[in-house]
Amino acid sequence: MAEVSGALSRDIVVVGASVAGLHAAHAVAKMGRGLSVMVIGERVRPRYNLPLADRTGLTGPTDLDSTTLRALSQLGSQGVDLRLGARASELDLANQRILVGNGSVSYRALVIACGCAPTIPALLTEESRVYTVGQREEVSALRAVLADPSLAVAVIGAGLAGGETASRLRRAGRTVSLVDGSPEPMGRFGAVAVNSYAALHHRAGVAPCFGDGVVEVVKDGLRRRLRLSSGTLVPADVIVIADGHRPATEWLESSGLALRDGIVCDAGLQAYNHVFAAGDAARWSNPRYGTRMRGEQWTNAADQGRIAGLNAARSITRGAPDSYAGIPYRRSYQHGVRIQLTGFLNGDERVVTQRTGEGEVALFGRENVLHGALAFEHQYLFDEVRAMLTDGVAWDAALAHVGAAVSTARVPARSGPRLHDIGIRNAICHDVLP
């Protein structure tokens, strides 16, 4: 694990030592073709191998070192050259070379898995005790600050990462507000889920402030509050940014690669001859949906990393590439409730929601095609719907299956808080406007 100096050469170079990058390197090493592989990672201690805040050890006794990607040691034993603490600064496509620190690395095939970087709102860039979700050092610093239980926390960004962060902090007894300028913080799933989502946090003691952006920082001695667009003042001695990530592609701006909110690539994750992209920074052409998309999900990063690594190797060995037709999927655990969503929505889908005392399942479809699903609990039923989505089951069939499962109480009961206690009742059917 060392920086790069001098002129080096490897068959395959992977830039990025997080989920996508290490899955790419592992896939190549596992092929057993004798290809030399180097992984270049800017951080000496890479991002942990666990999605979302509930599994970061944010407030618990978890040793953050134990959550580091365990694949590092495995890759080392497979002969992968790990260069951590080394920053790629420029890509020379014509000469198939990357500038790194005081040296350079030539490649026969390249996988770019540089991920995303957090964006702190301009209003907060000069403020103290402002942290972002997603990096080990940030979590360590935040845990140290939270040793003082009197400090109130404002979480900015109410997507799943923000909601899970708020859940963990509230469970630890902190005063927490969850702030998002959007009235539907879970995107196109949010029109259906926002009331249930807000109720879940409210009943747990978190103050949900959706559709209410931050306009001013108000200080009173050692205390700090945020003024929202509605005029509401939110206590914010500590601020956690859980939204606003952007592809970390600045170092590629002079490379000649197509960059449009990510690295533009084809269905096989190829961005240029012998150059592939994977993970949060890849904007690829998904053959399942016939459109380009970018995903910031753990499963997406892992699956894309594996395929990008294999396709990079095949570009050398002249093998046929695989395409990636992944279905977006995310899950989160908040206040004892499992939240899952899957699919790709345009915003004009027909929506049917089945609600019971044990949970909620929403199906999204258009023109008799199932497009997605969202669930609060109902794990077994969600798994079945997810399989239907993969298999291309028609909307009518999926709807009938879910209706039968709920009406016959075939869905297993769960232990823990029942969702009728947080304001989820009755079955509804409605349209979501574009």
Query: Contact at 8 Å (CB) between 370 and 191?
Result: no
With cut-offs at 50, 70 and 90, classify the pLDDT of residue 191.
Answer: confident
Judged against a pLDDT cut of 60, whether residue 218 lies above it is answered with yes
What confidence tens digit (pLDDT) does each residue in 26-64 have?
999 999 889 999 999 988 766 645 445 444 456 555 554
412 vs 13: which has the higher pLDDT = 13
What confidence tens digit (pLDDT) does each residue in 400-430 have?
998 888 776 554 434 334 443 333 332 222 2
With cut-offs at 50, 70 and 90, classify the pLDDT of residue 264.
Answer: very high
167 vs 427: which has the higher pLDDT = 167
Domains of the chain in sequence order: 5-117+246-317 (3.50.50.60), 122-241 (3.50.50.60), 336-431 (3.30.390)
Whole-number pLDDT of residue 62: 52
Judged against a pLDDT cut of 90, whether residue 431 lies above it is answered with no
What confidence tens digit (pLDDT) does each residue in 69-104 have?
566 778 888 889 999 999 999 999 999 999 998 899
Q: Pull the structure tokens for residue 417.
A: 């808080």
Query: Which helix (H) or strand (E) is 223 found in, with range?
Result: strand 223-228
Judged against a pLDDT cut of 70, whether residue 66 lies above it is answered with no
Whole-number pLDDT of residue 46: 66
What mean pLDDT do residues 323-329 have?
96
Neighbours of 299 (CB within 10 A): 17
Query: Contact at 8 Å (CB) between 44 and 82?
Result: no
What mean pLDDT do residues 247-275 have?
98
What mean pLDDT do residues 142-160 have?
91
What mean pLDDT do residues 340-346 have?
92
Indicate the average pLDDT of the chain: 86
Q: How far is CA 207 from the centre of its chain?
A: 24
The percent of residues above 90 in pLDDT, for the chain, comes to: 64
Query: Contact at 8 Å (CB) between 318 and 108?
Result: no
Whole-number pLDDT of residue 55: 47
* Distance, CA of 327 to CA of 286 (rounded, Å): 9
